Amino acid sequence: MGMPANRIETFTDVHERDGSGIEVFENHELVIEIFRDDSAHSQMVTLPKGQVSLEMLEAAIQAFRARGLHEFLDLRPALKAAHQMAGHVH
């Protein structure tokens, strides 16, 4: 059984960016990505197809918030601990 043609997927990215987001697919095509970057403290919307309806964008934002993805994670304690473990005590 394949993936539904219209769906919302939650994802994390820790390689190029550091955070979580959602991808919205319509007819198996990515139409909206909303991403929360914890290190940059930014939230960005990407529209790969160029245009989507306002209703679809509003529904995507609601789904992003309903999953709790709009709240930034404070990475400073983890970064401080990692630096201390590496011998870079500040």
Name beta bridge partners: 21.
11, 35
Q: How far is Cα 62 from Cα 36, in angstroms, rounded to an integer?
A: 14
Q: Are 90 and 80 in contact (CB under 8 A)?
A: yes
Per the structure, the complete domain to which residue 14 belongs is given by: 7-85
What does pTM read for this prediction? Answer: 0.75
pLDDT at residue 32, as a whole number: 97
User: Considering the domain boundaries, does residue 90 fall inside one?
Assistant: no
How many structural domains comprise the chain?
1
Q: 10-residue block means of pLDDT along the chain (90 residues)? A: 89 84 96 91 93 95 89 64 61
pLDDT at 75: 59
